[in-house]
Structure 1
Amino acid sequence: MSTEIVALAALALVFLIATVRSINMGALALVAAFIVGLSVFGDDTDAIIAGFPGDLFVILVGVTYLFALAKNNGTVDWIVHGAVRAVRGRVALVPWAMFFVCAVVTGIGAVSPAAVAIVAPVAMGFAHRYRIHPVMMGMMVVQGATGGSFSPIGIFGSITNGVVDSNDIEGSATFLFFSAMIAATLVATITYFVFGGRELIARGKDERALAEIGTTADAASHAATRGTVTGTPTSVVERGLGHADGVDATDDDTRLNVERSTTLLGLLALIVGALAFDLDVGFTALTVAVALTLLFPPSARGAVEKISWGTILLVGGIVTYVNLLQNHGVVTWLGDRVAEVGAPLLAALLICFIGAVVSAFASTTGIIGALIPLAVPFLLTDQVSAIGLIAALAISSSVVDCSPFSTNGALIVANSDESEREMVFKRLMQWGMSIVVVAPIVTWAILVLPSA
């Protein structure tokens, strides 16, 4: 039995054991990487641990730490209230607002995980507060970021079009973008209605949210002139800064105080740094979080414990094992087996499947750049449409980013409410694995098969 088959069988065993037993899949995958790396590939521990995704670790730690602080000091509540006010209580529109925000941000060049890292904490906080299914909200965020990324100036679009040009393959940046955007919108629409979209539409305006905002807003508007809020004597300064002269200031999460304003400035710095200056999202978020901790120690209590350590272990372990496979050419070996298939249409379908499977656990950016050259021999025969196959491969490799083992999916799980985190992980894994199967078949049937 070849080493490639043994390594792939070990990965399948990891999933099987973690499914039937209560054990963190990431811990199991790290053990598998250690055993397979030593016994099958002859690596030392330094080579094995080199596959640990340090960048993903920093992103998850930094972002969840920062938004734990923002939640502790009321900044997230303030943002949530602002979002409800913006849609005038129509919570059914909020998931779509998050979808389009992510699409626009990635469409103008932001890295997809950066957009998700920025939007997901607010979106998931809103979902928990106003009874929107967290899986629906998470999928809307991820699919919006995915669709926008294939714009001509988006990261995925730039990479795909660049590889196409360098290999002298016929391509269409416009077709790629619109087909990817339609696919992402379709996935988002399906999940929207499966996870309670009709109920949200039927709900109409959320009167509870409107009443909550109206009450606190009215109280705030009279605070300066009457000096009272909900019957408690206080001044505007007292309400902003907390206790003054022994008087308890009413906590109003629709008004800004010094700490919340500073936190918002920190979040703005994260957005500008990530999008305008291409700063690392994880380190930037961690820097902002540490600065806030030094400035406002009381609200930092318990924030480190709220970092999603279990999720980090899970994702880190799986990605470490997949990187081990990539480093030893297992993915390339799969590609070579595909190349031996005589029927171009079947080979095209297999390539789409490989892209979907690998991307669900590893870098979408890397797999897009690696598999398009793999398809060149088939494209040069003119037996399949180059434009169609490239779009099918790109879509198959990207809509699976909702998998909890990818960066985007992991961010959704990490930013879910702790009471819902396990459920969100399981549902995203189910949806991610379903899309791994369905997306290649559908895109191949629509974009590749008619041109044969």
Structure 2
Amino acid sequence: MTAHWISIYALAGMFVLATVLPVNMGVIAFVGAFLVGTLVAGMNAKAIMAGFPADLFLTLVGITYLFALAQNNGTIDWLVKLAVRAVRGRIAAIPWIMFFIAAALTAVGAVSPAAVAIIAPIALGFAAKYGINPLLMGLMVIHGAQGGGFSPISIYGGITNKIVAKAGLPLNEVATMMASLGINFSVALLLFFMMGGTKLLRQKVQVGNTAFDTPSVAHGQGGAQVYGDAEGESFQEEKRTAAQGGDSLMDAAQSAPAAEGARWYQLLTVAGLLALAVLTLFFKQDIGFVSITIGLLLTLMAPNLQKRALGQVSWPEIMLIVGVSTYVGVMDKMGTIDFVGHSVAGLTSPMIAALLLCFVGAVVSAFASSTAVLGSLIPLAVPFLLGDTGVSAVGFIAAMAVSSTIVDVSPFSTNGALVLANARGISREVFFRQLLIYGALITVIAPVVVWLLFVVL
């Protein structure tokens, strides 16, 4: 067995181990980088650590820290309530409000399960109260969160864009973002009319404050991804740190005077999020430094209220991403990336090779971490994309991005498990089967559709 195949089998083993056991894949990847690098490739520790993505680490810390601040000071809760009240009793608009709020949260830096965890209890509470199909509402929330996930200042977008830029491939941040948003919006639109949306268009009721009396996120949800990947771990960690203290503006907002007194701070937080978008998108400033700077300014204004934020940074998510990236760096130095790329390029049809890679991304991501898939499969495809295969790198990256994340509707994923845990007015067994069937269909259909749209056409 060659060194290349040893490193490939080791990577596959990491996915399996992180799926079946409650172990962070990043920890496994760091150990894998050390063992494969030293024992197989003959590398020293300094050469192995050269693959550590310092810029990506700073980006992830910065945007998750800033989002934790926005969540703690009640800004997210306030914006959700404003958006829902804006529908003025139009029941049909509520699923779409949930879709776009979830998209906005992930677009500004929330990890997808964190956005779903915030929106799902509210959305499914509305569904139970106003007779909306709970499967429709849950899927709208998940597709919304995935739809916004590839903005240039998001977690998925930051990972993908940095990997593509480092590889020297053509980079089109807007194309990837719009591909994800467009596909997820189209799927949501189709689901809306297939699952009772026409009936909802004829309904209108009074939507008051009682609509927000929804249960908190259920504890103990199962599924491989909840305990086996970093998205689920970061969500569990956020719940633990939130339970340790009650000094955030979110707690203070339980009383009307405190909430009103904090409004200026929430407005400043919104201004900070807008400034992040402007500085990074139009002035090309580093997103990591900018987000940490804005976070520090907000923290200095209310240091005691924000002391939980650093503990709420998605450290397990960050560990996974930088660990996998370091291991991929070892594979790159070994020449495994070139080996795989040329092997794929040697298939009979480059188009079929691209389709197979999309399928691999979808199937693995349905049970393991989407971020790990993006961090490992895109580098493996780099030599294939750089060759004269006739496959557009921009189109393939968009196809891979969508096919590797849209499958998170599966009940075995963190997002699917969160929706399942918050379902009301329906048997959990029935709802589980519905999510399972839908997840299986989307895993089979989505790679073909995005391959046709972004690679073939």
TM-score, structure 2 as length reference: 0.61
CA distance in 1, matches of 2:152, 2:71: 28
In the TM superposition, 1:146-157 aligns within 5 A as 146=150
CA distance in 1, matches of 2:256, 2:75: 16
CA distance in 1, matches of 2:440, 2:31: 23
CA contact (8 A) 1:62 1:286 kept: yes
Residue identity opposite 2:338 in structure 1 = T
**RMSD after superposition:** 5.2
Q: Does 1:397 align with 2:400?
A: yes
- Which residue of the partner structure matches residue 230 of structure 1? none
Residue 355 of structure 1 and its aligned partner are, at CA, apart by 8.0
In the TM superposition, 1:296-445 aligns within 5 A as 296-343=302-349, 346-347=352-353, 349-350=355-356, 360-362=373-375, 371-374=384-387, 376-377=388-389, 379=390, 393-400=396-403, 402=405, 439-444=446-451
- Which residue of the partner structure matches residue 282 of structure 2? 276
CA deviation digits over 1:42-96, x for unaligned, max 9?
2222222232333332233222222322222222222122211233354211144
CA distance in 1, matches of 2:142, 2:181: 17
Residue 256 of structure 1 and its aligned partner are, at CA, apart by 5.5
CA deviation digits over 1:352-400, x for unaligned, max 9?
56787899332898788754332x24x4xxxxxx6xx778634432213
Q: 1:188 to 1:340 in 2, by over 3 A?
A: same
Residue identity opposite 1:372 in structure 2 = L
- Which residue of the partner structure matches residue 125 of structure 1? 118
Q: Which runs of 5+ in 2 are unaligned?
A: 126-136, 154-159, 213-248, 365-370, 423-434
Q: Does 1:78 align with 2:71?
A: no
CA distance in 1, matches of 2:64, 2:178: 33
Residue identity opposite 2:41 in structure 1 = F
Query: How many percent of aligned residue pairs carry the same amino acid?
Result: 32
CA distance in 1, matches of 2:28, 2:177: 38
CA contact (8 A) 2:59 2:289 kept: yes
Secondary structure at the counterpart of residue 256 of structure 2: coil
TM-score, structure 1 as length reference: 0.61
Residue identity opposite 1:71 in structure 2 = Q
Residue 260 of structure 1 and its aligned partner are, at CA, apart by 2.4
Residue identity opposite 1:82 in structure 2 = L
CA contact (8 A) 1:98 1:140 kept: yes
CA distance in 1, matches of 2:441, 2:45: 34
Q: 1:443 to 1:297 in 2, by over 3 A?
A: closer
- Which residue of the partner structure matches residue 295 of structure 2? 289
CA contact (8 A) 1:402 1:432 kept: no
CA deviation digits over 1:387-416, x for unaligned, max 9?
xx77863443221352899xxxx9x98xx9
Which of residues 254, 261, 272 is equivalent to 1:266?
272
Q: Which moved more, 1:437-446 or 1:393-402?
A: 437-446
Q: Does 1:58 align with 2:64?
A: no
Residue 27 of structure 1 and its aligned partner are, at CA, apart by 1.0
Q: 1:12 to 1:360 in 2, by over 3 A?
A: closer
Q: 1:54 to 1:23 in 2, by over 3 A?
A: same
CA contact (8 A) 2:99 2:144 kept: yes
Q: Does 1:67 align with 2:67?
A: yes
Secondary structure at the counterpart of residue 375 of structure 2: coil
Q: 1:278 to 1:249 in 2, by over 3 A?
A: same
- Which residue of the partner structure matches residue 87 of structure 2? 87
Q: Which runs of 5+ in 1 are unaligned?
A: 103-112, 150-154, 167-174, 214-239, 380-385, 421-427
- Which residue of the partner structure matches residue 134 of structure 2? none
In the TM superposition, 1:192-231 aligns within 5 A as 209-210=208-209
Secondary structure at the counterpart of residue 284 of structure 1: helix
Residue identity opposite 1:26 in structure 2 = G
Q: 1:136 to 1:280 in 2, by over 3 A?
A: farther
Q: 1:92 to 1:71 in 2, by over 3 A?
A: same
CA contact (8 A) 1:18 1:25 kept: yes
Secondary structure at the counterpart of residue 7 of structure 1: helix
CA deviation digits over 1:124-153, x for unaligned, max 9?
63444443777753432333555999xxxx
Q: Does 1:142 align with 2:146?
A: yes
CA distance in 2, matches of 1:58, 1:72: 21
CA contact (8 A) 2:358 2:447 kept: yes
Residue 323 of structure 1 and its aligned partner are, at CA, apart by 3.2
Larger radius of gyration: 1
CA distance in 1, matches of 2:50, 2:198: 47
Residue 5 of structure 1 and its aligned partner are, at CA, apart by 0.7
Residue identity opposite 1:94 in structure 2 = I
Residue 4 of structure 1 and its aligned partner are, at CA, apart by 1.2
